[in-house]
Amino acid sequence: MTSTLSIKDLRVSVEGQLILKGLDLEVKQGEVHALMGPNGSGKSTLAYSLMGHPKYEVEGGEVWLKGQNILELTPDERARLGLFLAFQYPTVIPGVSLANFLRAAVNAIRGGEVNGNGKAQVGVPIAEFRKMLTEKMELLQMDKSFARRYLNDGFSGGEKKRAEILQMAMLEPEIAILDETDSGLDIDALRIVSEGVNALSGPHMGILVITHYQRILNYIQPDFVHVMINGRIVASGGAELAHELEAQGYDRYLKQVSEVSR
């Protein structure tokens, strides 16, 4: 059965201010969606709310995945259900190596958490895990030494983004949200990251690419493009919509919104 992330009338506030004002969107496994919008339109708020960051207050609406309203679940339960978020600004965690972190995450997702002495009770055998890690790191052209480094500690912007996609590759989510994954990447890094995403995408993964610019969509071909303005989706279409936005900008949509609110 195909999983669908189904967002219905989602309203979210941050520090008392309403940011998402009734957002509807469906992303099915196997589809690639692009969500585009100017700064401040609420794109990142959507990403964080879907993953369950405590700072974002859900005021109304529902988000369904595999028969569950995920707004009632903790972030780790959402992840275990098959949701993934590649962060725009990944957190630096001192003292936790990328490899140990990934092993804990892989075991958590595949059933069987890591217990007190660091040994997995159930989950992926260590040899299989290492093999998988080596393969995925090669795919993303990451040096082996990254596995031993502390999570995102001292990583450059591009390295952090690659590490995010590496996590996505290891966890094999059903629905992945890429929040401004293209920001801060030079053209080579953008190509490597995009190729990585393309290699992973397929009938088993639905992807929501959140971006300000059309640039990343030269590499990752979307099936659907949505325009987000002021907390709502104001237009949806095919890949051609992205090209139109690139040429004409968001002005037309911004005017519409201000006329409606008048």
Partner 1 sequence: MAQQSTIVKDPVIEAGVFTRHATLALSERLNEPEWMKEKRQVAWSIFEEMPMPTTSDEDWRRTDIRSLKWDQLQLSVDSNLSPVSKLAELPEHLRLALDEGLDASGRLALVNGQVVYHELAEGLSEQGVVFTDMASAVHEHPELVQQYFMTECVAPSEGKFPALNGALWQGGAFIYVPKGVEVKGPFQVVVALEGEGAAIFPHTLIIAERFAKVTCIEETVSSDGAGQALNNGIVEIVAGDGAQVRYAEVQRWGENVFNFNTKRAIHHPDSLVVWEMGQLGGRLTKTYIDSILRGNGSSAELNGVYFVGDKQHLDLDTLTHHIGLSTGGDLLLKGAARDSARAVFQGMIKIDPTGQQTNSYLKNENLLLSDHARSDSIPSLEIDANDVRASHGATVSRVDEEYIFYLQSRGISRNTAVRMIVEGFFSSVFDRMSEERVREKLAAAVSARIGD
CA dist., res. 54 & res. 190, Å (int)? 30
Asked if residue 165 binds partner 1 (CB under 8 A), the reply is no
CA dist., res. 55 & res. 32, Å (int)? 28
Tell me the per-residue interface mask from 228 to 257 with partner 1, x by CB under 8 A, - otherwise. ------------------------------
**Residue 244, class by beta-carbon neighbours within 10 Å (0-12 exposed, 13-18 middle, 19+ buried)?**
middle
In the complex, least distance from residue 113 CB atom to partner 1, rounded to whole angstroms: 6
Asked if residue 114 binds partner 1 (CB under 8 A), the reply is yes
Tell how strand 232-237 and strand 68-69 pair up. Answer: unpaired
Fill in the amino acid letter for 198: N
Asked if residue 17 binds partner 1 (CB under 8 A), the reply is no
CA dist., res. 69 & res. 63, Å (int)? 5
CA dist., res. 34 & res. 209, Å (int)? 5
User: Which of 7, 23, 36, 51 is the binder for partner 1 (CB under 8 A)?
Assistant: 51
Asked if residue 66 binds partner 1 (CB under 8 A), the reply is no
Integer-rounded Cα radius of gyration of the chain = 19
Using the minimum distance from each CB to partner 1, give the nearer residue, 100 or 201.
Answer: 100
Tell me the per-residue interface mask from 170 to 209 with partner 1, x by CB under 8 A, - otherwise. -x--------------------------------------
**Residue 59, class by beta-carbon neighbours within 10 Å (0-12 exposed, 13-18 middle, 19+ buried)?**
middle
User: Which of 8, 21, 53, 130 is the binder for partner 1 (CB under 8 A)?
Assistant: 53
Q: How far is CA 20 from CA 12, 55, 135, 180, 218, in A?
A: 5, 14, 39, 18, 28
Count Cβ atoms below 10 Å from residue 187 Cβ, excluding itself: 8
> Interacting stretch for partner 1, rule CB under 8 A, among 37-45, 116-124, 221-229, 249-257?
116-124
Asked if residue 96 binds partner 1 (CB under 8 A), the reply is yes
User: Which of 14, 18, 58, 108 is the binder for partner 1 (CB under 8 A)?
Assistant: 108
User: Which of 80, 149, 204, 212 is the binder for partner 1 (CB under 8 A)?
Assistant: 80
CA dist., res. 109 & res. 173, Å (int)? 9
Residue found by looking up tokens 């300000």 in the block: 212
Asked if residue 94 binds partner 1 (CB under 8 A), the reply is yes
> Interacting stretch for partner 1, rule CB under 8 A, among 11-19, 75-83, 198-206, 238-246?
75-83
In the complex, least distance from residue 38 CB atom to partner 1, rounded to whole angstroms: 26
- Positions in the binding site for partner 1 (CB under 8 A): 51-54, 74-76, 78-80, 84-85, 87, 90-91, 93-96, 100-101, 104-105, 108-109, 113-114, 116-118, 150, 167, 171
